[in-house]
Structure 1
Amino acid sequence: MKEEKNEKLPEFQVEISHPRNKLDISPVEDKIITLEGVAASLPYGSTSGEWGNSGKGWTEQYGTPIGADIKYFSRYEDTFYHLKVDFPVDKIKEYMQRAYAQSEVSMSEESLQEYKILGRNESFNSAQNPYNSFTTLVFGFAPKGMVVVWLRYGIVQIELGKFQAEIIKDDKELEKKFFSKLSVTRAELKQNRFLDISPKEWEDYRIRYSWKPTISSENKNLKRFEMNIIYFNGEAEAILRPWIDNVPLKDRAVPKEINFTWETGANQQFVGRAYFSWEKANEIFRKAGSKGNLEFKVSQDNSSFQILLNGEPLPADSTRVFQTEREFHESYK
């Protein structure tokens, strides 16, 4: 009977991520609170991956997530924390109705929008329906009890908010429960793993500036197709036609990686990629102030591009141009 009920409820995945290796935490007791009152939980095991992306799948959970009650052990801090938080229900309800565009559409003449109100569990078919509704609830556990939660829609990821877990001072029962399953003692783990790290780095990643990305070229045959941006704060954005020709100015975090596609004629489609350093990019965005225009200026022969913020060079850690989508995707292997 319970399975029948779950089949009628919205589904979602859950991921638990950490900033980087050696900064892992392990849930001890956890539950995700749902609007419908059905049970949902975190994945089994410890955090993994990188900030905002654990790289691991999990059994589907059901319902509409509106909060979390999590007790966890920070292995590198030798500290048990308790995160008890209610998500903003009105915001959750609104975002559960959204479906974000993922890619170009090949079998519809309707213009794409950044997102549509399509309801939950919208099926994704790139040929007919290039939108994805809410797919994954993502947790990020930073030092000192800082927790960030994101909502993922396929390739799009949006920060729901930052929350603060409290230190559990009377932790003897949790210690007994947690370490009974480990082959090391708490003292041994602390001796080998203890790190005193501030959450400032991940807090700073949440800084936003008012800016928009643009693609330009001296070649008059330039056609812009899509741009995918991964931000240092764990968010990800997909920019497609037609709004890629006039991207709206809005508050965005500092970009970590940007990939963009353009064409200048038959058999002349290219993909550009740029990676950025947080320190360099953040300083330039900070100095630029409001209304930033991040321009990717493609050379006449499509072999390279400049990156300018309000006309001033913005250095990238690396840039590359690929002549085909296949060459671009193979570069990730």
Structure 2
Amino acid sequence: MEEKFEWLPSESAPKLYPMEIYNGHLFFEDGNSVYIPCSALAHSGWGNDGSTHVTGDDFKPVPIRLEVTWASFVENKFYTGSWALPKEKMTKLFKEGVVAYRTKKKKTYNQIIVGLAPGGVAVVWMYGEGNQVEIGRFQAKETQVAMKDFVPNNPTISQKEYMDLSTELPEAIKNIEQKGGIEFGLWDTYRKKYNWKTNIDIPNYTFEKIAIEMFNGERETLFDEALLKNEFKERAIPDYMSFIITNPKGIHYVFEFKNIDEKEIFNLFQQADASKPIEIVLRMNEDLSNRKLIFKQGDKEIPIKKIDLDNMWEYKK
């Protein structure tokens, strides 16, 4: 009997580059499949899950193939692709699972997320308990889909009319105008990894937990033994970090850095020495004054400026 795990499929698209799946399925070895749900205009953010439908059995085999055809609205184009998935890698992750921070109990990965971006970029991730791992990056080809098939309830609408975002998502058009065009290649730039880790430098405080979300859609949550080791690791550049620190009285504080400025953080990583490890250090006095977030490589330290160091609160477990 083929091993089965409890998971659901979902879709993802960059916030300002919406898409809509026409036909998307994850296929199993026995020929059966589960469809990938999709809202009419998907733009949840790269790596963020979108629609969730309870599709198929609760426990499903590990998929071996992804087939998907979708509309890329900002390009007024359709893309299609069919690719083998790394079944062994996915099975290993399902079996290893992840530990939940609150309960300290082991759980499995419970989502397979299919991300679709301009230029025919397709990325698949597995998500579970604050951890998300890239499974593969694939390249689709342009295709044609008849509008009477794509929008059967409005068969006379033209493709250009249907994909016009001026009413539904005008900020997407504005973004492209400001950037001077669609940022083709951006999602591959996001996939570049660097040898780095986080740390704290706060007298008499211990490091309780770190949650990191990266531009490439991957996520990582470290606590207990993994955080005690706190190893340098190849990671993509972070766009979100949440530190939990604890003082000698057992009081926990959260420092959260959301929407880290893309230009500033990329410049720091790209200008660093690729042969040396990097630390991002949360530093302050014991009374939590003089707060800084430092980009550190060897003796070189650069404060990260475009962040909100006041976004903190006491955390009660």
Taking structure 2 as the reference length, the TM-score comes to: 0.83
Cα distance change of structure 1 residues 153 and 298 upon mapping to structure 2, 3 Å threshold? same
1:277 shift after superposition: 0.9
Alignment of 1:148 with 2:148, yes or no, is no
**What is the rounded CA distance, in whole Å, between the counterparts of 1:27 and 1:190 in structure 2?**
13
1:175 shift after superposition: 3.1
**What is the rounded CA distance, in whole Å, between the counterparts of 1:312 and 1:191 in structure 2?**
44
**Residue equivalent to 2:133:** 158
Alignment of 1:81 with 2:56, yes or no, is no
Percent identity of the aligned residues? 20
**What is the rounded CA distance, in whole Å, between the counterparts of 2:309 and 2:226 in structure 1?**
24
1:161 shift after superposition: 1.8
Cα distance change of structure 1 residues 287 and 27 upon mapping to structure 2, 3 Å threshold? same
Alignment of 1:325 with 2:315, yes or no, is yes
**1:155-304 → structure 2 map (5 Å cutoff):** 155-168=130-143, 171=144, 174-182=146-154, 184-190=157-163, 197-217=182-202, 219=203, 221-266=204-249, 268-275=251-258, 276-289=260-273, 290-303=276-289
Cα distance change of structure 1 residues 36 and 97 upon mapping to structure 2, 3 Å threshold? farther
**What is the rounded CA distance, in whole Å, between the counterparts of 2:137 and 2:130 in structure 1?**
21
**1:93-108 → structure 2 map (5 Å cutoff):** 93-103=91-101
Cα distance change of structure 1 residues 283 and 44 upon mapping to structure 2, 3 Å threshold? closer
1:279 shift after superposition: 1.1
Q: Classify the secondary structure of the residue corresponding to 1:19.
A: coil
**Residue equivalent to 1:117:** none
**Residue equivalent to 2:304:** 314
Number of aligned residues: 293
Could you give the per-residue CA deviations for residues 44-97 of structure 1, whole angstroms, max 9, x where no partner exists?
Answer: 443241111134322144221222111222233221211211112222222221
Gaps of 5+ in 1: 105-125
User: Which of 19, 28, 33 does residue 22 from structure 2 map onto?
Assistant: 28
1:281 shift after superposition: 0.6
**What is the rounded CA distance, in whole Å, between the counterparts of 1:167 and 1:27 in structure 2?**
14
- Check conservation: 1:179, 1:186, Cα contact below 8 A: no
CA RMSD of aligned residues (A): 2.5
Taking structure 1 as the reference length, the TM-score comes to: 0.80
- Check conservation: 1:274, 1:316, Cα contact below 8 A: no
- Check conservation: 2:72, 2:117, Cα contact below 8 A: no
Could you give the per-residue CA deviations for residues 160-190 of structure 1, whole angstroms, max 9, x where no partner exists?
Answer: 121111111xx35x43301323473224235
Cα distance change of structure 1 residues 305 and 55 upon mapping to structure 2, 3 Å threshold? farther
Cα distance change of structure 1 residues 323 and 188 upon mapping to structure 2, 3 Å threshold? closer
